[in-house]
Amino acid sequence: MQHHQFLVSEANALRVRLGMVKPFEQTMPTVPAANISKEALNAIHHLLKGGVGDMNQKIQLFLRWMRRPRRADKAQRQFALLKLKFNALLDQLDIFADVLTQRGEHETGVWIGGLDVVAENALKIRGGSFDPPPLISYLDRGHGAAIRRARTRLPGGKQNPVAVIRVPRERMVSSGIASSLIHEVGHQGSALLGLIPSIRPILLQKEQRAEAQNKIVWQLFHRWISEILSDFWAVAHLGVSATTGLIGVVTLPRYFVFRMNLDDPHPFPWIRVKISCGFGRVLYPDPQWDRIEHLWDSLYPVSQTKVRDQHLIKRIEALIPAFVQLVLKHRPQKLNGRALYQAFPVEQRQPGKLRRQFQIWDQQPGLMRKAGPTLVFATIGQARADEKISPAWENQLLTDMLTYWATRKSISNHKK
């Protein structure tokens, strides 16, 4: 077989396989309550439709180009580039197929639909001048969560129109799932507010002006700021359950909890919990933070680490209060003059209010459906932290609410 015939045949095979890429509306095996929002589905539809159209045009141009004699190596090089672009399109398809296929799982698909509603609620803040993108969630193995943010590059270079949040399956269903979910929402929210580029110069100034022994600490805060802001986002929406949920994620063998890779953008787990408690102490004053820190210290005593690491840990701990105040009082341009903490429902998440709220809902469970999703998770998470409910009761309450939110969203989508 001549190279011309072979490559033309392979290009036509690509075109046949391209024709098998169907819109998700034709393949989604879901009940209505498990569906993603219309906005998300339309955004994905237009992305893939445009990608298929562009790819089909590239194949046609290649076939037209091959009508004239071409050197074998040059023709192969052009076909190889064409195939790479085709595979990039399939990579885009697989990103969303992994999410949407899971919606067909019995019960789980509906719960994930409810998580979408929680995520959308967690992206809403006071005074934020940004256009929120659609958000969709899915479950995966492992203990960590992740996000593919909207408006970042997909394989092939196209812009992602939808934020895709991966949360650990092992956390379904408990109040801890919201800690992981809203942490990832925080990454999207921080990007929309431009928080990282606006606060990093301030941290750099702190580093430059600090005493010699504290320069490394401010340098670390500068490096860790993206993850810390996302932890703050969770604490600001969820109160204590953000921190207890974080503890659930980072309860690992001691080596990993204290492992310090100073080039890692993630704070090492031990200090990450301490910083989360630092935000909680200021936003929600309550004796519970002493109990949580005492628990964490008893689980992972600093005295069991290297002496050199102990000195650094003590310096970091000493500067956490100043760092927390810097973050809370930061005024990004997109908040129109508000300090960062003022953009969040901090007043409604005070421990005393959450405890009273739970008592009311315990007597009148139907009232829970009138509350926002993050308030529900914050209230139930506070009750769990106070040991007022068992894990089984917590699971039942949250399962019922996720199902309710998913069903309500489905009805709302149908009316549009």
Digit-coded pLDDT (tens) for 190-243: 999 999 999 999 999 999 988 888 999 999 999 999 999 999 999 999 999 999
pLDDT of residue 34: 83
Q: Is the peptide bond between 118 and the residue preceding it cis, with omega within 30 degrees of 0?
A: no
| Low-confidence spans in the chain with pLDDT less than 50 | none
**197 plus 98 within the same structural domain:** no
Domain count, the chain: 2
Asked if residue 270 belongs to a domain, the reply is yes
β 163-168/146-148 pair status: antiparallel
Looking at 81, 102, 123, which one is the last position of a domain? 102
Give domain status of residue 145, yes or no: no
Same domain, 97 and 240: no
Alpha carbons 271 and 379: distance in angstroms, whole number = 26
Local structure of 388: helix, strand or coil: coil
| Intra-chain end-to-end CA distance of the chain, in Å | 56
Q: What is the DSSP letter of 389?
A: S
pLDDT attached to residue 149: 93
**Bridge partners, residue 147, by sequence:** 165
Task: Give the chain's count of helices (H) and strands (E).
Answer: 15, 3
pTM score, two decimals?
Answer: 0.89
The encoded tokens of residue 32 equal 């209505």
Domain that holds residue 14: 3-102
Q: What is the pLDDT of residue 172?
A: 75
Instruction: Choose the final residue of a domain: 51, 75, 102.
Output: 102
Question: Does one domain contain both 193 and 95?
Answer: no
Q: How many CB atoms lie within 10 A of CB 147?
A: 23
Residue 245 lies in a domain: yes
Both 226 and 370 in one domain: the answer is yes
Does 403 lie in the same domain as 280?
A: yes
Can you list the positions of beta strands (E) in 1-84?
Answer: none
CA–CA separation, 6 vs 9, rounded Å? 5
Assigned domain for 383 exists: yes
The strand pairing partners of 168, in sequence order, are 140
In the prediction, which pLDDT does 233 show?
A: 97
DSSP state of 127: T
- Give the span between the Cα atoms of 125 and 336, in whole angstroms: 12
Query: Is position 112 within any domain?
Result: no
Q: Does residue 97 sit in the same domain as residue 202?
A: no
217 and 92: one domain? no
At 227, which amino acid appears? E
pLDDT confidence of residue 227:
96
| Co-location of 201 and 315 in the same domain | yes
Q: Is residue 182 in a domain?
A: no
For residue 122, tell me if it sits in a domain: no
CA angle (280 as vertex; 276, 286 as ends), nearest 5: 140
Domain final residue pick, 60, 84, 102: 102
- Does residue 92 belong to any structural domain of this protein? yes
Judged on CB neighbours under 10 Å (0-12, 13-18, 19+), 255 is exposed
- Residues 226 and 325 reside in one and the same domain: yes
Q: How far apart, in whole angstroms, are the C-alpha atoms of residue 121 and residue 348?
A: 15
Query: Is 347 found in the same domain as 213?
Result: yes
- Give me the pLDDT at residue 307, please: 86
Tell me the Ramachandran region of residue 11: left when phi exceeds 0, alpha when psi lies from -120 to 50, beta otherwise: alpha
